[in-house]
Each structure stands twice: as C-alpha cells, then as structure tokens.
C-alpha cells in the first residue's frame, strides 16, 4: 500500500491547505485510515461509524480490538448525534477545555461502531485544538476514531516521520502538520459517574479540572486483563522503546551506580535525563527530555526522546523519575507503562 504524505506545516488557515485536507478527507469518507497531528500526539483516524474503517485502524496498529478508541470531532454539535446525554459537569469541562487535550467519557447512542467502544455503553470523545486536526475534522464532517498513530506498544508519535517509521505501507496517508505541542495523550475524564474520575492523566491536570467542577477522583489502579477498559491506555504495554527501560528513584550517585552495574555486565547503557543533569552521568548514550523545573517540557519531548534510543544501539535504558505533581502525573504514568513498572529505589 502506498502511504501518501501531505505536508501542511506552517499552517495558517483552511484555505491555504484545502487540496491536502480535501484529499485526506475523501480517503476518510471512503473507509480508509489517515494519520493527522493533534496538539497531543499524531492520531490514526478512521470513520467511527464504519466497522470497515475501524478494523483497518486495529490492523495497521496491531492493536487488540478490546481496547476502546477515542472519537474526535470538529464541532461540539456533533456530540448530540452519538451521545445519549451530557451531564452538567461534562458540559462545564467541555466549555472550559474544548478544543483541547481533554477526552470526556459519556453514555453513547448506537450510531458509532461497537468496535470503537469495545462493546461498552459509553464513548470517549474529544475535540482537538490543533488547527490542522480541526480543519480535517470539519471538512470530513464525520466522527473520527483516532488512537495514537504508532505500532501498538511503541512510543506515541509527535512528528510525522515517527508515523512513517511505524506505519508506512500500512495506512493510506499522513498529514504532516509539524511537531505536536503537549506531547502526551489527552486527559481522559469519565463523566458517567457522579464524581468524575480521571482514567488517564494528560495535559489537563486534576487541579485544573477541580477548579471548574469541584472534586475529581483519580483512578490509579491498573485493570486486570479480565476487565474491559473504559479508556485507551489502560490495558497492555504502552510507549516502550526497543530496549528495556528501568526507572531509578534516588540520588545522582545512586543513579550512576546503577549505570555502572549494567556496564559491568557488558551492557551498553542509555540514560534518559533532564537538562539539569545531562553532564552528571557517564553512559553510552545520554538523552535529555526537557527541564526538571518545567515538566511540561519533559512531557512535550518524552516520546521523541524514547524513540531516539532506538538509534543509539543500547541494551538498556535507565531513566530518572519525576514528581507526580501537575503534568508530572502524566509523565510518570507513561514512563511506568514503558518500563513495565520496573523501578529501582535507593
């Protein structure tokens, strides 16, 4: 299969990129799958009302079909066509954070394919703020199911070439809109409960949500394989680079001792660190993912940094740990999944 690449970087308005957007939209209307940028990561889109398109998403990613997908819309009015009801707290967060990196789980109508929701009676929906994503979604005028545009289990893509590396020849096209911003997937908020629950941390923090709607719970428990996940990212291994990853929680001296221990075993060691510590460690590859004093920079560069180790010929990656305050919660959530919860504490 040929994978078309449409470059729409330096996007200014819909008119300027009309031919590329129209071609991508035509493919989506014809049950094909197309990757496109959002403000979080690149998504792999397909018509959420089409079983055929949704099957192609799962096939391209190699993703198990019992993991639900997020539906992306370009207009809030689209909600009423496939959502049964919108609780008042959901309305408040939608008004506050859409378009933006917040996914809301709501009771669904039957219009969307059951394959999108993995048979659940609820649906995860968001309206992205990236101008290219919005232009495409408005043009296609359909609800678009879109998980991250990577092979299942690998770090999510924040650049178009990440998508091409994983999925070229497996999908119909990639809309290249440049680098994404937030860098980690959207916050997922279950609004089907009386007190909404964060099922996946992301760019919108618990504090920001509580400032709008009051108390919000955080579901920190991992679901067992026997339970049906209500949110993407709650099941199976995610975000993993090619080499095994371990998180080290301790002083710089302790961190270096862990590196040295692996080197004594004859292993090539990669280090994932921050700008504050980039000169502190002796290893075969040292990659910085941002500043410890600004964890938003870490979130923005996390997946790109993890992918960079695939080109460094390392046998193991040793990562620093981070505060779970604010967006740090999302950073540690992704790192823990990438590491299979392997943490070495001092």
- Same domain for 60 and 120, yes or no, is yes
Residue numbers of the domain that contains 32: 4-218
- Same domain for 210 and 253, yes or no, is no
Does residue 121 lie in a domain region?
Answer: yes
Does residue 233 lie in a domain region?
Answer: no
> Residue 312: how many CB atoms within 10 A of its CB?
18
Contact yes or no for 32/60 (Cβ under 8 A): no
Does residue 289 lie in a domain region?
Answer: yes
Does residue 223 lie in a domain region?
Answer: no
Does residue 226 lie in a domain region?
Answer: no
The answer to whether 40 is annotated as binding is yes
The answer to whether 251 is annotated as binding is no
Does residue 240 lie in a domain region?
Answer: no
Local confidence pLDDT in tens for the 346 residues of the chain: 899 999 987 666 665 667 889 999 999 999 999 999 999 999 999 999 999 999 999 999 998 777 899 999 999 999 999 999 999 999 999 999 999 999 999 999 888 889 999 889 999 999 999 999 999 999 999 999 999 999 998 999 999 999 999 999 999 999 999 999 999 999 999 999 999 999 999 999 999 999 999 999 998 653 333 344 455 544 455 788 999 999 999 999 999 999 999 999 999 999 999 999 999 999 999 999 999 999 999 999 999 999 999 999 999 999 999 999 999 999 999 999 999 999 999 9
Helix (H) or strand (E) holding 249: strand 245-249
Q: How far is CA 1 from CA 55, 130, 159, 270, in A?
A: 16, 28, 21, 35
- Same domain for 209 and 321, yes or no, is no
> Residue 68: how many CB atoms within 10 A of its CB?
25
The answer to whether 262 is annotated as binding is no
- Same domain for 255 and 146, yes or no, is no
Does residue 316 lie in a domain region?
Answer: yes
CATH number at residue 267: 3.40.50.11030
- Same domain for 197 and 249, yes or no, is no
**How far is Cα 88 from Cα 276, in angstroms, rounded to an integer?**
44
Does residue 139 lie in a domain region?
Answer: yes
The answer to whether 294 is annotated as binding is no
Q: How far is CA 130 from CA 17, 27, 142, 182, in A?
A: 14, 20, 17, 11
The answer to whether 146 is annotated as binding is yes
The answer to whether 239 is annotated as binding is yes
The answer to whether 126 is annotated as binding is yes
pTM for this predicted structure:
0.92
CATH number at residue 39: 3.90.870.10
Pair of tokens at residue 25: 């939209």
The answer to whether 67 is annotated as binding is yes
Q: How many domains does the chain have?
A: 2
């Amino acid at each position: 299969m040929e994978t078309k690449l449409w470059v729409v970087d330096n996007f200014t308005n819909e008119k300027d990129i009309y031919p590329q957007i129209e071609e991508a939209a035509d493919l989506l209307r014809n049950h094909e799958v197309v990757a496109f940028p959002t403000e979080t990561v690149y998504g792999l889109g397909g018509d959420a009302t089409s079983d055929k398109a949704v099957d192609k998403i799962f096939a391209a990613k190699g993703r198990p079909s019992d993991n639900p997908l997020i539906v992306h819309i370009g207009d809030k009015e689209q909600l009423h066509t496939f959502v049964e009801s919108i609780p008042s707290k959901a309305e408040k967060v939608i008004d506050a954070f859409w378009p933006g990196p917040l996914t809301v789980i709501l009771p669904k109508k039957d219009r969307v394919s059951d394959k999108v929701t993995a048979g659940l009676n609820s649906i995860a929906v968001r309206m992205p703020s990236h101008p290219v994503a919005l232009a495409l979604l408005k043009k296609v005028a359909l609800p678009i199911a879109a998980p991250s545009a990577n092979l299942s289990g690998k770090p999510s893509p924040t650049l178009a070439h990440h998508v091409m590396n994983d999925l070229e020849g497996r999908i119909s096209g990639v809309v290249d809109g440049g680098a994404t911003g937030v860098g980690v997937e959207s916050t997922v908020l279950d609004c089907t409960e009386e007190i909404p629950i964060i099922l996946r941390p992301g760019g919108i923090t618990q504090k920001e949500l509580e400032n709008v709607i009051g108390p919000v719970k955080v579901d920190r428990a991992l679901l067992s394989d026997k339970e049906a996940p209500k949110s993407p990212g709650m099941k199976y291994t995610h975000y993993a680079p090619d080499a095994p990853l371990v998180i080290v929680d301790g002083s710089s001296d302790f961190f270096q001792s862990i590196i040295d221990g692996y080197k004594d075993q004859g292993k090539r060691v990669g280090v994932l660190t921050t700008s504050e510590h980039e000169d502190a460690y002796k290893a075969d590859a040292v990659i910085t993912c941002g500043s410890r004093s600004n964890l938003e920079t870490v979130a923005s560069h996390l997946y790109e940094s993890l992918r960079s180790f695939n080109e460094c010929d390392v046998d193991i990656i040793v990562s620093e740990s981070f505060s779970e305050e604010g967006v740090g919660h999302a950073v540690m959530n992704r790192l823990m999944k990438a590491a299979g919860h392997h943490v070495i504490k001092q």
